[in-house]
Structure 1
Amino acid sequence: MTSNETAQGAYKTGEYAITKQDLTKAALSIGALGMEFSWTYANQMGLAFGMMVKKMLKKIYHDDPSGYAAALERHTAFFNITVCLAPFVGGIAMSMEERIAKGEMPPESVNDIKAALMGPLSGIGDAVFLTTIRVVAAGIAISLAAQGNVLGPIIFLLLFNVPQYFLRVWGIHKGYEIGVSLLETAEQSGIMDKVIKAAGIIGMMVVGSMTCGMFWATLAVEFGSGDEVTTLQSVLDGIMPGMLGLAFMGLYYFLLKKKVSPMILILGTMVLGVVGVYFGILA
């Protein structure tokens, strides 16, 4: 099967089939465009991602209300990415959900794939759009504005947003097509389980790196005297850098499994931070 045939075959017909129009509408929906407007500490862009794909999920699970509810819960889980690349991941996710609805894939595989894609795609997206296109667009716009040209801000908006909107629409279609062809190839070769397992491993690596990179706390407890004074934090870093963040991640994971509300954990962390700094335990 050629790539063109695979792409054409990705779009099925029927009342409950996902169409090109469905994908385009999702890429330009309030969920896709509001990825950062509904950002939360608990799920980051998870709520917006769920809003982006919910209409397509309703089609996939049109005769299975409990399946739809479970799928919607899956797609409101933790998610974070360069916003214009979210529709691309959404397209891949919907091609997987069609297989999950048929019982051909385990439900947890879709979030493994999403987690595996977050880090690499964000690295590319941030470099291209935030540190390159945005800077170039701002430079041109500022130069025009400094000369009194009213086109300055308009040029900035066009240079920065036109590529993003094109990528949103093209990305969700390409993601859906790639998802179908990838799954078909993996299924035919018998490596589907290996792909899912590898995605899960990469996803855990992404979560692990975020645990270390997004945790900001230092133990200020000192011991020793004179020139031999050292901190507990330096001792822990000597054993394993990021140990404190790993410990708290494990604690939060345990509490979440015990159904403790994420908002309680967030508020508790804020209180713990203030109290720790006040008593000189944290810095």
Structure 2
Amino acid sequence: MRNENTSIDKGMMNKIFRRSFMFGASWNYERMQNLCFLYTLMPVLKKVYKNDKEEMSIAMKRHLEFYNTHYTFNPFIMGVTMALEESEGNAADRSISGLKTGLMGPLAGLGDSMMGLTLIPIIFSIGASYSKDGSLFGVFLALILFNLINITIKYVLLKLGYTKGAEYLSKPETKANLDKITNTAVALGVMLVGGLVPQWVGVKLALSYTQGDLVIQLQDMIDGIIPGILPLLLTLGMYKLIKQGKNPVLLILGLIILSIPLVALGILG
């Protein structure tokens, strides 16, 4: 069982914040930031579950699920997760997973637009104006400005996610609303992840039919009927094999090996 006498103090919060700077150290192609998330959260899990290995195992397995969002906005999700782990523990297993899934997509988009497409170009444009004559001052200025803003946002979001998450969870009506929020978050997350399939998975047929001056590309015909169906079928097939216990690394190697002769034979482009 979860330890009821837990409290995430300022020291614990700062420890989680420091660990968040290593968030990209264990990125992987199978579940992306899951190892990073678990590593960052481990001090909280150890404090919540103490020496209960069974409960700890359940919590760790939960946070090894697929996870990927923007590095700057991740601390908000981390803070909300900390509040749920502290107050509910493994009883909120589905809620924690659902909220993570639902929040990571929108916050990833927000982070990309605010940081990657807005803040970084503005700051480094300012830096470039000071370095147009070859001075390194502009480079250091841009790096200092960016990190000051980025680090501040991350720390504020971590505290906001934890305090507001804890505040929300303490309300009497939370239990009634949590399932609705979780279901909505799961549905949103599934749609967002599904929308990424044709962008992240590339399957293009090179087969064509030629009759005189007429050339019909099979890939164009398929895209005209059901766009993105081949990446979707490949993803669903891989998902089914993984669910059956197949090794993801071996599946990836198998795809690479299979793709080489298919490209050589002109079947794949």
**TM score, norm. by length of structure 2:** 0.90
| AA aligned opposite 1:22 | M
Contact 1:49/1:86 (<8 A) preserved: no
Asked if the contact 2:124/2:142 (under 8 Å) is kept, the reply is yes
Is 2:15 aligned against 1:39? no
- Report how many residues are paired: 266
Equivalent-residue separation in structure 2 for 1:189 and 1:92 (angstroms): 16
Poorly superposed stretches of 4+, deviation over 6 Å: none
2:193 equivalent in structure 1: 207
Distance 2:58 2:260 in 1: 38
CA distance in 2, matches of 1:189, 1:77: 24
Is 1:71 the counterpart of 2:71 in the alignment?
Answer: no
Relative to 1, partners in 2 of residues 1:150 and 1:100: Cα closer, same or farther, differing over 3 Å? Answer: same
Q: Does 1:177 align with 2:173?
A: no
User: Does residue 158 of structure 2 align to residue 158 of structure 1?
Assistant: no
Structure 1 Cα separation of the partners of residues 63 and 174 of structure 2: 27
Select which of 216, 219, 225 maps to 1:230. Answer: 216
SS in 1 for 2:73: helix
CA distance in 2, matches of 1:218, 1:260: 25
Unaligned runs of 5+ in 1: 1-12
Whether 2:128 is the aligned partner of 1:137: answer no
Q: Which amino acid aligns with 1:43?
A: R
Show the 5 A alignment for 1:12-91.
16-29=6-19, 32-91=20-79
TM-score (norm. length: structure 1): 0.86
**Distance (Å, rounded) in 2 between the aligned partners of 1:146 and 1:94:** 46
Q: Which moved more, 1:140-149 or 1:59-68?
A: 140-149
Query: Does the Cα contact within 8 Å between 1:24 and 1:173 map onto a contact in 2?
Result: no
Kept in 1, the 8 Å contact 2:95–2:179? The answer is no
Partner Cα distance (1:184, 1:277) in 2: 58
Considering only aligned residues, what root-mean-square deviation do their CA atoms show, in Å?
2.1
Question: Residue in 2 aligned with 1:6?
Answer: none
- Displacement of 1:206 in angstroms is 1.4
- For 1:141 and 1:102, how far apart are their aligned partners in 2? 48
Equivalent position of 1:241 in the other structure: 227
Shift of 1:224: 5.2
Query: The residue matched to 2:131 in structure 1 has which SS?
Result: helix
Tell me the distance in 2 between the aligned counterparts of 1:167 and 1:245: 36
1:76-127 Cα offsets, whole Å, 9 max, x none, are 3221111111111111112222344262x3x133222112112211111111
Match of 2:105 among 110, 116, 119: 119
Instruction: Note the C-alpha offset of 1:188.
Output: 4.1
What is the rounded CA distance, in whole Å, between the counterparts of 1:150 and 1:41 in structure 2?
Answer: 36
The one-letter amino acid of 1:244's match is L
